[in-house]
Amino acid sequence: MLMETGLKKSVDLPQEALLASLMSSIGEYLPDEQLSQVSKAYDLASDAHAGQYRLSGEDYICHPVSVALILSEMKMDVDCIMAAIMHDVLEDTEVSFEEMAESFNAEVAGLVEGVSKLTKINFKSRAEAQAENMRKMFLAMAKDLRVIIIKLADRLHNMRTIGVMKPESRRRIAKETLDIYAPIAHRLGMHEYRLELEDLSFEAIFPRRRKILADHIRKARGNRKEIIETIDRALTTRFTETAFPGKLYGREKNLYSIYRKMKRMPFSEVYDVYAFRLIVETTDQCYQALGVLHQLYKPLPGKFKDYIALPKTNGYQSLHTVLVGPFGVPIELQIRSSEMDHVAESGIAAHWLYKSDGAANDIQLKAHEWLRNLLETQKGSGDSFEFIDNLKVDLFPKEIFVFSPKGQIVKLPKGATAVDFAFAVHTGVGMTCAGVKINRQMEPLHTVLRNGQTVDIMTSDFAVCNPNWLNFVVTNKARNAIRNHLKEFKERDAIALGGQLLNAELKSLGMCFDDIEPERISEYLSQQRISSVDALLIDLGFGNRLPLLVAQQLISEDGADETMIDIAKGQQSTATLNIRGAEGMLINLATCCRPIYDDKVIGFFSPGRGVVVHRIHCKNTREYKRKHKNWLNVQWADNSDGGFSSDIKLILVEDKGVLAQIAGLLSESDCNIENVKLGQPQEGTSSHVITISVRNRKHLARVMRRLHNIESVLKIERVRN
């Protein structure tokens, strides 16, 4: 029985031997004129890295040649091999992009630039630099998928040689590999890369656990030998009897996979599964072989998966089944054609062809589709950290398959809802979805979908994107589309509020915005490095700039001097903002004191939130005045909106039906009960806080007087904080 082997390793070969191995490997499939180009790339990289050494003490050039050797084992094209040899040249040496493009071609230089880090930018932290580098790499991947293949080979060789690094650095790099690079290799179908990256990371993070687990497997392997031989003999005999062409392999689970499963079950149960792989010639023979196996051993119900008819997103195709073998042991079997096996091991790198017409194989097309979705994600991400979080979610999908009314298959991650389906069909469908039929039955939009369901989205021109959808959507496409929609609304609110604040300050100074010369406004925007008037108003609306300071700078001929700036920062705004209530997203009524119409109020700028309105006697205002200078006068507009929330505290005698009596009176008084906090009875009385909706202070006073007339109400007061 044959056992699977990993990628060939090239860790400890000296520089000359590495180069000889590389030239021998690429000589098997590249013409002589391309071999000379590779030699030229080596000469440039060797000269550029002269005097540079790795932590192990070897010449630095050994690393990029080892990366190129890994890629040569996958028969990558000459541009990719050259880019691998020079992949650190732009980052670590004086060679420029233009020089490299002139010496070779723009495609090779573009690949090297895509792999290189962002060394010219100063980042606040290592985490920020790593996140932005990852984002840049994915943008480069969208132009050329070979960028990620080179990067994965680079990371693989770094992991093979990570032993010379400090333990803290080893763990950090290994964790990043497990979180990002191994899942990317899996997502692109590069099975061998993934397995080795996982095992090397496991060894770097938990060396002792890996050693103990490896020792246990070595001991258990001897006890399994007889059962494996029995199963292997039975399977081989059956296929020989049927004259069926096929090769049977035993599959050894990798250590990290066993370790992960041990978190859910004991080692004995994990290792008590015997895994085999059958390789045949054609797709038809895969299904024929399945019938032969099911006649030999009984299959376990619910364990059959057909990834040939429904391939995984990374292009993986195979039949999976679990049989009950001799002695009742479970046997996991994968059945695939030789071509499917090649794709399963190498994924996107299988049959790498760059044709003159730009054609690519199916796996590359699937990878490009995934990258297009990632690009949509990065456009909607606020920063690199958000992009990386979204990427991690996207890299760990458990897929389901549902159908459109026309029979089109749509792949979604497990846990996806009807709204996720709507956005998967088209962003416009998601934005206007109003209802859903699942298997011809009306269901709520938050319904979690299951395999095989038919989903029919109903749209309406009057439907609007609901912020509450963010509570249950799981796909990045849906989440980012909703966030972008809300962001646009928030920016519109910010522009309106910023305009009000600025005009109010200018009015207090005897001016208005229209009185200021356009040239002065342009000059001010240029001085402050603000792109547009809207951008200025957004900053004001979000509370990121003081309206008083901006107003004084705008009306000053030479801008506000330092003294004026200090005064502006230290004084209360003399302007007054008129409000009607909780307007849009950027004027918020504080929940600590719950101001209502006719209360004396004051406003504070809260960066990112806009203006937060408090009652003037709220105890939190003292803290704001002490710590923050960005507060302003606020007054209620004549046409204030109704429906303000207010908390009232009631101390009651514990009489039967008193709460029902209170609820009835509130209903008669045109009040809605929003919340009730019931207190524990003490000595025949109890204290409760009820949140009610009122129109203004007069309405609240009338309600409180009526409640006080109830015999069981001992005391009633409005909650201040």
Per residue in 473-498, pLDDT tens? 888 788 888 877 777 777 777 777 77
Average pLDDT over every residue of 393-402: 62
pLDDT tens by residue, 97-138: 888 888 888 888 888 887 875 444 344 455 555 555 555 555
The Cα–Cα gap between 500 and 503 comes to 5
> Above 50 in pLDDT, residue 567?
no
> Above 70 in pLDDT, residue 24?
yes
Average pLDDT over every residue of 598-610: 74
The Cα–Cα gap between 411 and 696 comes to 52
Domain assignment present for residue 546? The answer is: yes
pLDDT tens by residue, 614-663: 888 888 777 666 655 557 777 787 766 567 888 999 888 888 888 888 88
At residue 504, the pLDDT reads 79
Q: Among all chains, which residue has been given the structure tokens 């398959």?
A: 401
Q: How many of the other CB atoms lie within 10 Å of CB of 15?
A: 14
Residue 542 phi/psi, 5-degree rounding, is -80, -5
Average pLDDT, the chain: 77
Domain of 336: which CATH number?
3.30.460.10
Element (H, E) at 276: strand 274-280
pLDDT tens by residue, 332-378: 889 998 888 877 776 665 544 433 334 445 555 655 555 555 555 54
Q: Are residues 582 and 568 in the same domain?
A: yes
Domain assignment present for residue 188? The answer is: yes
Average pLDDT over every residue of 422-434: 86
Q: Are residues 549 and 522 in the same domain?
A: yes
Q: Are residues 201 and 312 in the same domain?
A: no
Model pTM above 0.75: no
At residue 126, the pLDDT reads 58
pLDDT tens by residue, 232-271: 888 888 877 776 677 887 776 778 888 888 877 777 776 5
Average pLDDT over every residue of 436-462: 85
Question: How many domains does the structure of the chain reveal?
Answer: 5
Residue ranges making up the domain that contains 686: 644-718
Q: Are residues 327 and 403 in the same domain?
A: no
For residue 317, give the DSSP letter. Answer: -
Residues classed as catalytic: 91-92
**144, 171, 205 - which closes a domain:** 205
At residue 1, the pLDDT reads 31
The type of residue at 232 is: D
Q: Are residues 522 and 603 in the same domain?
A: yes
Burial 395-429 (b: 16+ CB within 10 A, else e): bebeebebeeeeeeebebbeebbbbbbbbbbebee
> Above 50 in pLDDT, residue 506?
yes
At residue 350, the pLDDT reads 54
Helix (H/G/I), strand (E/B), else coil: 291: helix
Beta bridge pairs of residue 459: 433
Q: Are residues 165 and 19 in the same domain?
A: yes
Q: Are residues 80 and 169 in the same domain?
A: yes
Q: Are residues 13 and 119 in the same domain?
A: yes
